[in-house]
Structure 1
Amino acid sequence: MVAGPAGAARGSLRDLAYDALRRRILDAELKPGARLVERDLAAELAVSRIPLREALRRLEADGLVLLVPHRGALVSPFTPADVRDLFDVRESLESLAARLAAERAEAEELARLAARLKAARTAIAAEDRGGIAAANAGFHTDIVELAHNPLLSNMMRPLEARTHWLFRLTAQRDPAQQCAEHEEMYEAIAAGDGDRAAALAHAHVVDGRAESLALAEQWAHPVIDPQRVAASRRRRA
């Protein structure tokens, strides 16, 4: 069934709300654990609650929002345990992706990785933390795509937003070091050296684990009760 004008309009409003909230979460404007008040968000984004709720469900699927039944929504707490679990998965799957990319990527596809490296260097020079995070997350996403393994892509896709979020929340890590490690990975992939690409990808993820977990302790709530947070009322001044 083809959506009529009303359905199309609602879909565009849903996408608008999704894109706006996703950006605000990934840019850490909305902090982990922050309550999302539907009434206030609908007014800010100039959308009704129906497309807003659809957007929130999409963000929940991305792992960025937690919906508490009959209570409300909040930005996912993204605890140190969540960060640890993300690293556990990335260590295995990203090294596989790098190996396959080295074996399967076409020469012209490597230009995408080179462009990400250039964007990262430009962002570092401008001290643009958001740009650095976007370029670094995009570099990892491109490697998965260059692996040409649909099953792997489907497994990694739900992690993309959380990986971008991680890069943004840990933007104070040494960006020059991360860029240098990405350049080594690029060289191994471009050379078709699967073993080296996999080893470098694994080492790259492992290298960021301890510092990222330490930073996660700084933004995480010591104790968080989603039911209580979602049910809380924010008073207007």
Structure 2
Amino acid sequence: MQPQPPSLTGQLPALGAAHRSLRDQVAEVLRERIIRGALPPGTPLVERTLAEGLGVSRVPVRDALSLLKGEGYVTQEPRRGVVVTRLVRKDVEELFDVRLALEVLAVRLAAERATADDLAGLKETLRQSGLALKANDTEALLRSNQAFHDAITQMAKNDLLASLLNPLEGRLHWLLSQNDDPLPLHREHEKLYQAIASGDPDAAGRESVAHVTTSRELCLRRLYPER
């Protein structure tokens, strides 16, 4: 059975903040729902339905979908229109290949450049992850895990690297949200924090390689169990 267009009425926040364009606000809402799994792969995204659900015109919805296409979250399919992207195994492996190269660099830079305040913030995201894990709160765990990686990207203090990592991280969080065993990743986050806090970029780089490798294995095992 093909996924049906989502019913969004009453489920999404009111939009219209003056400091941000409607396009960006619509894109953020849709991106978040894709990452959280509320809009699964293959779901049709119909401009009129989305516009009615969000209380906006079709123009910012169309512009937001164009933005999300560029980020890889949605795809234009013949005779079906825009749908949430379906990732095949090759797509997932390529995402992790690129993540390995970029994230290891971010972690190494974070180990060299992190301030005491940076480390305190990173440690707090770990604490929040631990609380979410104990409470079996999947939504909170996803948020805190994403905050952990976002914090490392900021700690690297490299704007170009951040611009390359940010859209990639969103898609990876989307994939990892389907992981049904978050404990191994949480433990690796703890090791990664310790390595960054030590100020040793080589040790931090090694932990980052191990973390990305584990993430890759868990994700592929979950999505493609037959191989």
Instruction: Name the TM tier (shorter chain).
Output: 0.7 to 0.9
One-letter amino acid matched to 1:80: R
Q: CA RMSD in A?
A: 2.2
CA distance in 2, matches of 1:181, 1:91: 15
Residue deviations 1:31-75, cap 9 Å, x none?
Answer: 111111222222222221111111112222322111358862110
Q: Please state which structure has a larger fraction of its residues in helix.
A: 1
Residue 213 (structure 2) aligns with: 206
Contact 1:14 1:55 in 2 (8 A): yes
Distance in 1 between residues matched to 2:17 and 2:150, nearest whole Å: 30
Contact 1:62 1:161 in 2 (8 A): no
Counterpart residue number, 1:167: 176
Residues matched between the structures, number: 209
Unmatched segments (≥5 aa) in structure 1? 1-6, 219-237
CA deviation string 1:114-142 (max 9, x = no partner): 11101111111121112212211221121
Query: In 2, Cα distance between the equivalents of 1:8 and 1:24?
Result: 19
Aligned match of 2:124 in 91, 115, 127?
115
Displacement after TM superposition at 1:209 (Å)? 1.5
- Correspondence for 1:106: 115
User: For residue 51 of structure 1, what is the aligned residue in structure 2?
Assistant: 60
Q: Which has the larger radius of gyration?
A: 1
Identity %: 44
Cα 1:194–1:16 change in 2 (3 A) is closer
Q: Distance in 2 between matches of 1:18 and 1:190?
A: 35
C-alpha distance in 1 between matches for 2:74 and 2:213: 26
Higher relative contact order (CA 8 A, sep 6+): 1
Moved more, 77-86 or 183-192: 77-86
Give the deviation of 1:87 after TM superposition.
Answer: 0.8
Secondary structure in structure 1 of the residue aligned to 2:128: helix
In structure 1, distance between residues paired with 2:190 and 2:95: 23
**C-alpha separation in 1, matches of 2:67 and 2:115:** 33
Contact 2:44 2:80 in 1 (8 A): no
Name which of 90, 97, 103 aligns with 1:81.
90
Q: TM-score scaled by structure 2? A: 0.84
- Alignment gaps of 5+ in structure 2: 1-15
TM-score (norm 1): 0.80
- 2:167 pairs, out of 142, 145, 158, with 158
What amino acid maps onto 2:141 in structure 1? Answer: I
Structure 1 stretch displaced more, 109-118 or 159-168: 159-168
